[in-house]
Amino acid sequence: MTDLHDDADFQALMGDVKPLSRGQGRAHTGQTHRAPSEAQLARRESAAAETPGGDLLSTDFIDLIPPFDPLHFHRDGIQTAVVDRLRHGGYPVQASLHLLRRPLEECRRLLPPFIREAYAHDLRSVMIIHGRGREIDSPANVLRSCLAKWLQSLDEVQAFASASQADGGLGATWVMLRKSERAKANNRERQQKRRG
């Protein structure tokens, strides 16, 4: 019996309310959806172009390397003699990237395309010039520490080591890139000609 009484009360309260007449039962806020402007589309394209394939090298949680410690890394399977030769400048500089006094974000944006382009052109030894600060938290040393982390995350990089004093010392880093499939095929062909 209370249900009938509740329904009557509800009907009395809602008597003059009319259903929404405009699309899908939503209230009209007065704003209409517009297509994105040309400027918005250009910003979207620019943002997409800056990060192709997820080239977001992180600047989070970087272990700062003391300014007088050399950088070094090599993947499994690389002979120690090859790494030593790299460290002592035994390979010619085929390309170099100068990052001195550049903002960290710009360096982060420039590194992956440089490495990829060098790899695409079958270059094996490149040098990155980054500088070295005297303090552990100086901008040059922060960049140096970031490079150590970033280079390890790039698949094209096979090894890297701080340059010898004659080549720039702790302010420059030698990077050895993997052989491309084309370079491997050329190498196999040369080996076959020698044997044949």
pLDDT score of 54: 44
pLDDT score of 32: 65
Instruction: Locate 130 and state its tokens.
Output: 């980054």
Angle between the N-to-C axes of helices 139-153 and 104-120, in degrees from 0 to 180, rounded to the nearest 10: 40
For the residues of 21-46, what is the DSSP string, one character each?
-STTT----S----PPPHHHHHHHHH
What would the pLDDT profile of 109-153 be if each residue is shown by its tens digit? 999 999 999 999 999 999 999 998 888 888 888 999 999 999 999
Domain at 117, CATH number: 3.30.1370.110
Is residue 163 included in any domain, yes or no? Answer: yes
Is residue 11 included in any domain, yes or no? Answer: no
Give the predicted TM-score (pTM) of the model: 0.68
Give yes or no for residue 182 having a pLDDT over 60.
yes
The pLDDT-based confidence of 40 (bands split at 50, 70, 90) is: confident
Of 8-17, 56-65, 179-188, which one has max mean pLDDT? 179-188
N-to-C CA span, the chain: 104
Nearest CA among 93, 89, 148 for reference residue 118: 93
The pLDDT-based confidence of 70 (bands split at 50, 70, 90) is: very high
pLDDT score of 160: 96
pLDDT score of 31: 63
The one-letter code for the residue type at 173 is T
The whole-angstrom separation of Cα 142 and Cα 148 is 10
Is residue 132 included in any domain, yes or no? Answer: yes
Those residues with Cβ within 8 angstroms of residue 191's Cβ, 6 or more apart along the chain or in another chain? none
pLDDT score of 156: 95
Phi first, then psi, for residue 61 (nearest 5°) are 55, 50
Is residue 164 included in any domain, yes or no? Answer: yes
Domain that holds residue 119: 72-187
Structural domains counted in the chain: 1
The whole-angstrom separation of Cα 115 and Cα 96 is 10
Mean local confidence (pLDDT), 19-38: 67
Is residue 60 included in any domain, yes or no? Answer: no
Mean local confidence (pLDDT), 161-173: 91
Is residue 2 included in any domain, yes or no? Answer: no
Question: What are the Cα distances from residue 114, in Å, to 57, 126, 162, 190?
Answer: 14, 10, 18, 28
pLDDT score of 93: 94
Mean local confidence (pLDDT), 147-167: 93
The whole-angstrom separation of Cα 39 and Cα 43 is 6
Mean local confidence (pLDDT), 74-90: 91
